[in-house]
Amino acid sequence: MPELPEVETVRRDLSRVYAGDKLARIVVTGRRTVRRHSPDALAALDGQVLSSVGRLGKYLWLEWEDGHVLVAHLRMSGQMLAVEPGAPTEPHTHAVFYFSRGELRFVDPRTFGELFLASPLPDRDGTAPAGPPAAGPSTGARVAELAHLGPDALVAEAGYLKTTFAGRRGPLKSLLVDQRVLAGIGNIYADEICFEAKVRPDRPGGSLKSRELQRVAASTRSVLGAAISLRGSTLADQQYSDLFGAQGGYQSRHNVYGRLALPCTSCGVPVQRVRFGAKSAFWCPRCQR
DNA sequence: CGATTATCCTGTGCGC
DNA sequence: TGCGCACAGGATAATC
């Protein structure tokens, strides 16, 4: 399940391999892969040079020299794979980018992932600027489809959480995985963040004290940062691999996620699972309060 | 407005 | 051994 650390790993590799390279064309075969507009619109990228690869939360975007922005989301099972030209096409390959430096393939068994060309945000006076969105480091904030996202979870701050969580009765974990609150956290890292912060995942968000919010913000940054350093988590289902098909290395550092009834890595008490609504969380009943 | 639920989809792994 | 089914879960629309 690609979350922020996995998407950031893919972003760095995409930038390293393809930035400055020319795209001949994209061939989309997946019926659901481009669903916000006609797949034919991607022809606008034919012959374009990739200038940079950005990320906000779990969204990736590829920015081209003429200002076009192609947004990608891997959702549950999407993978970006750099392959040798002419390599056998594996099942569930939905799009192929033909770069000068080689083929980039979008593979996604469950077809939740998507690609789309960004629409520019309207200017302050309400009129949409002519042409594609302007280039620059703040590209994500200028993409209308990403305007609902909260701050990237890598820069989570306690003060922001205090304001945002105030009066909220929903469980902490539900707030952490809400992309409007913080962008980038999913099921795995929400549990790991709550563990490192020593807070129960089912605590009502608004009940957290300032000291606890400090720990949640700091743990968000440190858990995600450590996971990026180890190139993300690859679970037993193998749904995540990097651009070159390699696994991540952070799964061996998981303290609670997927460890039901196994001893807590800190205190040895069996890890439990708590359910709230349709969701659940792994947690240590001794370390987290 | 905030919280909850159903939906999309396929591969996996479990129980019988 | 084989079959059926629950389950996995990110984002979003619908509903309460």
A133 pLDDT tier (thresholds 50, 70, 90): low
> How large is the average pLDDT for residues A104-122?
91
Task: Measure A110 CA to B11 C1' (Å).
Answer: 9
Rounded to the nearest 10°, the torsion over CA A213, A215, A216, A217 is 90
Query: For residue A288, what pLDDT is reported?
Result: 97
> How far, in Å, CA of A180 to CA of A149, rounded?
5
Burial of A59 (0-12, 13-18, 19+ CB in 10 A): buried
The string of DSSP codes covering A17-44 is HHTTPBEEEEEE--TTTS-SS-GGGGGG
Chain A residues 101-140, Cβ below 7 A from strand C: 110, 112
Task: Measure A144 CA to C4 C1' (Å).
Answer: 44
Residue type, A168: R
A183, A150 Cβ separation under 8 angstroms = yes
Query: Cβ of A32 < 7 Å from strand B?
Result: yes
Flag whether pLDDT at A25 surpasses 80: yes
> How large is the average pLDDT for residues A260-280?
92
Query: Cβ of A168 < 7 Å from strand B?
Result: yes
> How large is the average pLDDT for residues A74-102?
95
Residue at minimum CA to C1' distance from nucleotide C10: A75
A129 pLDDT tier (thresholds 50, 70, 90): low
A132 pLDDT tier (thresholds 50, 70, 90): low
Task: Measure A186 CA to C9 C1' (Å).
Answer: 9
pLDDT tens across A236-253, in order? Answer: 887 899 999 999 999 999
Chain A residues 216-275, Cβ below 7 A from strand B: 236-237
pLDDT tens across A180-195, in order? Answer: 999 999 999 999 999 9
Flag whether pLDDT at A126 surpasses 70: no
A123 pLDDT tier (thresholds 50, 70, 90): low
> How far, in Å, CA of A105 to CA of A98, rounded?
9
Query: For residue A144, what pLDDT is reported?
Result: 92
Query: Cβ of A1 < 7 Å from strand C?
Result: yes
A141 pLDDT tier (thresholds 50, 70, 90): low
Flag whether pLDDT at A206 surpasses 90: yes
Please, what is the angle between helix A210-229 and helix A187-197, to 10°?
130
Best CA proximity match to A26, nearest among A103, A137, A119: A103
Covered bases, chain B (protein CB within 7 Å)? 2-6, 8-13
Could you tell me which residue, A102 or A136, shows the higher pLDDT? A102
* CA distances (Å), origin A109, targets A35, A91, A222, A239: 16, 8, 31, 9
Q: What ranges make up the beta strands (E) of chain A?
A: 23-28, 50-56, 59-64, 69-73, 79-83, 93-99, 102-107, 114-117, 272-276, 279-283
Task: Measure A7 CA to B12 C1' (Å).
Answer: 24
Which nucleotide has the shortest C1'-to-CA distance from A279? C9
Query: Cβ of A3 < 7 Å from strand C?
Result: yes
Covered bases, chain C (protein CB within 7 Å)? 8-12
Average pLDDT along chain A: 93
Could you tell me which residue, A187 or A130, shows the higher pLDDT? A187
Task: Measure A179 CA to C11 C1' (Å).
Answer: 9
Task: Measure A60 CA to C11 C1' (Å).
Answer: 15
A278 pLDDT tier (thresholds 50, 70, 90): confident
Average the pLDDT over each of A103-112, A132-141, A213-222 and give the range with the smallest value. A132-141
> How far, in Å, CA of A98 to CA of A25, rounded?
6
Query: For residue A119, what pLDDT is reported?
Result: 83
> How far, in Å, CA of A99 to CA of A271, rounded?
47
